[in-house]
Structure 1
């Protein structure tokens, strides 16, 4: 082989093609965390005071979240990796894939702290046989397997920015009521990650969308809204199953519609539902804030545990003219 031929190109971080790749990489690495640094056992007193119905809800919620993070870590990133526009984008996706595995593992840490082995087995049996969970996993994974490059990005954004939030509601609600703060701390860290994942992949979608013809753009937009309708219909049924017993169903649906709008915004589209942040339970909206918790280093490590000072990237940092 002559010296002039290139068999494999080395990634060069000193030659950035898209500055969003670099800024996203820096943000994700700066906010790196592991569940082992969160003292979940400190929540056991709160856990023992919950009713059995509430304990079942928490278990099923985290079972569902584990399933979705498993889909994303095993199938989601691989599905969009082949359409990378830059080598740096692939590096960012590697980071995202690893953190999705950290998220899935974190739920198991919660289970091992709060639940017995038989309870954990029952939670996973419920998760793996629940018709609504399985349907949304199938809908998303089918797109990952057979969709176009842009459709796969839409599925990823909808999963990251919309479908997780029926589960996130529960720990955020308890956090707002001064219960299970360390469990909720893990969820806040996950939300912080998912916010970056959703906006970054949405930005990459917008780049590809803008290269389509006007007719192709309209077809894609119609497909996006139809998919959202189908996912939301299933998510309503899932929410009713989870929350009718505790009386939170309508509040959770409002939260879902608000986050569905956020997912559309990540893709560069207009909101579909009338719901805004002002319509969401303020206790939950306060919990969704990812500011630093006031934790002492030797007893608790909250989401102030960073490798550097991190400023949140605004959603419009990822928006481009459409």
Structure 2
């Protein structure tokens, strides 16, 4: 199959129709009319994303400031390593989503990806905010160095960085689809051992402010994963020449590899943390992989892990109706009522 490099989409190209002829590699004027787009239901995705708006300094970190010195040495070490992991991933995701949007012919895709990239930037800023609340500047900088020096973390992130950087060098339809697949892995799998660590602390009434922030981020990532999964399926439908057995095999291979790396990382970073069962964590990682595969239209690869073995995590994610009170009555927040427009799958 011949591969051609995509060109970045022009800002305005009035000779073309407003309604895009394709998601990627098509033609469009660049003028977005939400009432005339190829995938009308994506307006709901756009509105769901906007409904999640939040800022890091809305979260009260005063109790965390007092509690961090009282955490065990292992908990403090894991806390800093997990924050470094999350910051590394969201830094790369902000840039990757922005880059992908530059090649999207459909202006509705550009707009949705712009919102996702903005939210990833907020996530990344929140990690700096978290660390600035609990440790001095030298420790903050040291924590952010972990992302480019820790050998286990580097090994864990190598494959996704290879794929993302390959798209920078060769912006083809195939590489777009591949980075979208890795984006679903990032949004739906790679964060979850880290999320589990902070939710486990909250179960013990520790670092509740941090866990509240993580729940905001988790809620966003669920929406990102949902939309990007739809974008993959639609792009493949428009480009059936890429929807081959060899590509499906590639997806399964990289999901398996990602699961293995995530399990290795979870053992490295969570071993010895009170309240974390590593065998249960392995099952949860495989459960998340199955879930993401179903979302992009493929079959499960871990049939023994179709149910969530860590159901307690669901209590820490904002996917409830109406008003929800933060953990341990920290503060009240108003949420858009969950409906068939903005509801999403449980963890």
TM-score (normalizing by structure 1):
0.86
- Equivalent residue for 1:319? none
- Equivalent residue for 1:101? 121
- Equivalent residue for 1:262? 291
Where 1:11 maps in the other structure, the secondary structure is coil
- Equivalent residue for 1:204? 231
Shift of 1:309: 4.1
Q: How do 1:225-304 residues align onto structure 2 when only pairs under 5 Å count? A: 225-246=252-273, 248=276, 249-273=278-302, 274-280=304-310, 282-291=311-320, 292-294=323-325, 301=331, 304=333
1:173 partnered with 2:200:
yes
Shift of 1:289: 4.9
- Equivalent residue for 1:191? 218
Q: Is the 8 A contact 1:47 1:180 kept in 2?
A: yes
Q: Higher helix fraction: Structure 1 or Structure 2?
A: 1
Q: Is the 8 A contact 1:161 1:263 kept in 2?
A: yes
Q: Using a 3 Å threshold, how does the CA distance of structure 1 residues 305 and 137 change in structure 2: closer, same or farther?
A: farther
Q: Is the 8 A contact 2:177 2:232 kept in 1?
A: yes
Q: Is the 8 A contact 1:79 1:152 kept in 2?
A: no
Instruction: Note the residue ranges of structure 2 that are not aligned, 5 or more in a row.
Output: 1-12, 17-28, 168-173
Select 1:154's aligned residue among 172, 177, 181: 181
C-alpha distance in 1, partners of 2:240/2:148? 41
1:35 partnered with 2:56:
yes
Select 1:26's aligned residue among 30, 47, 50: 47
Q: Using a 3 Å threshold, how does the CA distance of structure 1 residues 37 and 190 change in structure 2: closer, same or farther?
A: same
Where 1:279 maps in the other structure, the secondary structure is coil
C-alpha distance in 1, partners of 2:140/2:30? 46
Instruction: Note the residue ranges of structure 1 that are not aligned, 5 or more in a row.
Output: 317-322
1:52 partnered with 2:89:
no
Q: Using a 3 Å threshold, how does the CA distance of structure 1 residues 47 and 207 change in structure 2: closer, same or farther?
A: same
Q: Is the 8 A contact 1:61 1:167 kept in 2?
A: yes
Comparing 214-223 and 256-265, the one that deviates more: 214-223
- Equivalent residue for 1:320? none
Q: Can you list the C-alpha shifts for 1:78-99, whole angstroms capped at 9, x where unaligned?
A: 3432553521111000000010
TM-score (normalizing by structure 2):
0.80
Query: Whose RCO is larger (CA < 8 A, sep 6+)?
Result: 1
Comparing 268-277 and 158-167, the one that deviates more: 268-277
Comparing 40-49 and 148-157, the one that deviates more: 40-49
